[in-house]
Each structure stands twice: as C-alpha cells, then as structure tokens.
Amino acid sequence: MPSVSRPFRAERTAAALAALLLAAGPASAEGLAPEAYDLFGEIELEGTGFLQSPQFAGQRRDDVSVAGKATFLAEWAGGDAVLRITPFARLDAADDRRTHVDLREAKLDLYRDDWSFRIGIDTVFWAKTEAVHLVDIVAQDDRIEDIDNETRLGQPMLRVGWLSELGELSLFYLPYFRERPTPGRTGRLRLNPPVADARPVYDTGAEEWTPSFAARFAGVAGDVDFGLSAFHGLGREPALFLDPGGALRPFYERITQVGLDLQYTSDATLWKFEGIHRSGQRNLSFVEESYLAATGGVEHTLYGVLDTPGDLGLIAEYAWDQRGEDALTPWQNDLFLGARLALNDVSDTSALILGSVDLGDGAVGVRLEFERRIAPNLSLGLEAQAFLGFDQSAPFDAFADDSYLRVRLTRFFGLK
C-alpha cells in the first residue's frame, strides 16, 4: 500500500550528514590544517516582473528576493583529499516556499591511483543536449529556483569511480530521497491547484529513506563522447493526483531507467543525442507504463562572427516522448531553435535565446538569458520567458499568464 510521507526534513538530514562528514574529515582525524584552502561565493538580488496579472487567486503580481551561497574548499595530501562545502539560501518576498535553505555540496573526495571515492552531498548533472536533459536523474530538480531544469538540490550519496583507458565507471549509492519543491499558492509559475509538496505519497514503506542506485560509464571513442547510465530507485519526477479533498499531491514510486547520451564533434559542429527507457513510472493519467523518450539535435558555431572575437552558436533540437499527451513534461513532440552568443570580451558577455514549438498544439515558449560583468566583482543577469498559446496545453495552461522578465545583480567575493 502507498504510504504518506512525514513532513519534509531534507534540510535537517543534510545538516546531520554534513556534521558527520566534517567529523570524519582529515583535519578532524589528525588535527592537521589543510595544505590549501579557499572561500568564495556570491550574493544575489533578484527582481521578477510578470507581464500579466495573476491567473489564480492569492498569487502575487511581482516578486523580489535575495539569495546567497558560499563555498569552502580545503585540500590535503597534494590534492588527493578534497573537502568542499556549499550552503545556499534564498529569502523571497512573494512565495514562502521559495524562501528556503539547501546544502548543495558537503562532500569529501579521495583519490588514489585510478580510483576515486566521494561521500557526502553533491549535485550530479548529466546532460548533452541544450533544451531537455533526459538522462539526468541522480539529483532532484530545484523547481522553486527556476523552470529550466538545471538547478539541483544536494543529494546525499556514496560514489566510487574507476578510471581506465576506455573511460570512467561511476557507481552511486543514494541513501536518502529529496522530494521536488514547487511554488506555493502565492507564487507564480505553479500548477492549479498548487502541488501539496508537504503531503507526498510513496509506494514504499521506507518513504524518503528508500535507497536508490545508479551507475554510469562515460568515455571517448574518436570524435564521440558517450555515456551509458542506469538507475533504480524512487523516481525524481513525481506523478500527480487529486485526492478526495481536492489537493494535488505528488506520488513517488520505484522506477528503473537506462540511458544513452552521445556527442559527436565534427569541426565546428556538435551532434547531440540523449535517449532513455523507463519502467515503473505513472503517466499524466496516473497509469503505470514503460516508455521510450529521446532528444537530439545539432549545434554549429560560427567563430569570429562579423570579424569580432565573438562566437555564435546555432542550435536546433527535437524532443519526443512515447507517452504523447500523457507525458509528465510538456516536451513530448517539440522542436527547439536557438542561438548562443559569447562575445569573448573582458566583461564575459554572453546571451542565449531558445524557442520551442509544440508540434501537436502549437504552443510556443521563448527563453532569453543574458549575462555581463559590469564591475570586477559584480555581474548583471537578465532572464525572460514567454508562454504563447499555453492556454491550450493542459495542465501547463496554468503558465499561460506567467510570461516574465527577471533581473539579477550578483556580487562575488572570495579570499583571493
């Protein structure tokens, strides 16, 4: 029988693991100061303005928040033992759920010959394609930070790696599960009703303590970078169901996934592919089914565009999901077109624009990202997202009025 989770305690668990990690570290064990250390981080002021009034009662029109993270890095034995700790926190004015603290990293890495060992908390990220990251499954998506699926929660883990001439084999034991956070009732970019994050349902008696296992072999064969991966455990992407009281609740179940990611380099052109087979996952209709999904495309770079030091990358990708309209994501028959510009100037100016078209219902999404350093320790970032025709794309029609412009001002600091 499915079991209902106790209140979310991931931050408390992460803090306990970090304390154990520090207690077991080289400095504590032998009373020795690290041979090298560093402390660096950033503080960010963020403002978000939405182009339309809220669609649902209780939502705020606009938002402002402040966030920060810091990284402490220490090394022993000439770099064969490395401790890295990165806490993150955000204070948000509009959405209580977006006010949160997370331990992104608290890990000890040990290296010996061709072997590597990691214990603690980390944010593993596997991906080849630009728009959709199918094979990436180890760490949970931090959906309250952004909707681009590239921000991850810290995942407790034990990792063993072995490096050979053919590539690197990584084995993961994941003892604790991180539930996916989503915006609350007063936040924008949420479903309707908002997901009841604090009331998840599991199909295991151990709930969030259900262990997961993962493996990946990554290597290079000629001009091809490749990765073969496997995962078994609680799926990071929950199915959703309405309970008798009308609450939209997440359902987490054991899944098995095998994946393949490829990148072929041909001069200035990158050919990319990600594909998975997953079993045990319930779909949008809350029916369990096995399915295939794939995404792939090409990125061609024009170097020194218009006789400048800048480079322009042209992107075209396609995403397909065998579940069709029953997919848990909107990317089941979508074309992506975009461009990435890097000016290669002293201000590290870069920009990305990426548009998507649902070939089934015609819904269009456009995303723009821009970043430029405006002072030695200060950068300006812009992010814009438009949702066009999403009112025809249930359940994602909840985003129909949530096109926005976001401005970030980030101050960097460090010992050096």
- How much is the pLDDT for 6? 45
DSSP code for 377: T
Residue 340 scores a pLDDT above 80: yes
Q: Mean per-residue pLDDT for 389-395?
A: 71
Residue 2 pLDDT grade (very low, low, confident, very high; cuts 50, 70, 90): very low
The angle formed by the CA atoms of residues 157, 158 and 163, to the nearest 5 degrees, is 125
Residue 308 scores a pLDDT above 60: yes
pLDDT digits (tens, 9 = 90+) for 233-291: 999 999 999 999 999 999 999 999 999 999 999 999 999 999 999 999 999 999 999 99
Q: Residue 264 is part of which domain span? A: 3-414
Q: Domain count for the chain, please give it.
A: 1
pLDDT digits (tens, 9 = 90+) for 164-197: 999 999 999 999 999 999 999 999 999 999 999 9
* pTM for this prediction: 0.89
CA 376 – CA 127 distance, rounded (Å): 31
- How much is the pLDDT for 390? 79
Residue 416 pLDDT grade (very low, low, confident, very high; cuts 50, 70, 90): low
Give 306 or 341, the one with higher predicted confidence.
341
Residue 30 scores a pLDDT above 60: no
CA 303 – CA 47 distance, rounded (Å): 34
Q: Which residues contact 358 (CB under 8 A, 6 or more apart)?
A: 330, 333, 334, 364, 389, 393
248-252 and 201-202: which strand pairing?
A: parallel
Q: Mean per-residue pLDDT for 382-396?
A: 82
CATH number of residue 315's parent domain: 2.40.160.10
- How much is the pLDDT for 155? 97
CA 17 – CA 154 distance, rounded (Å): 11
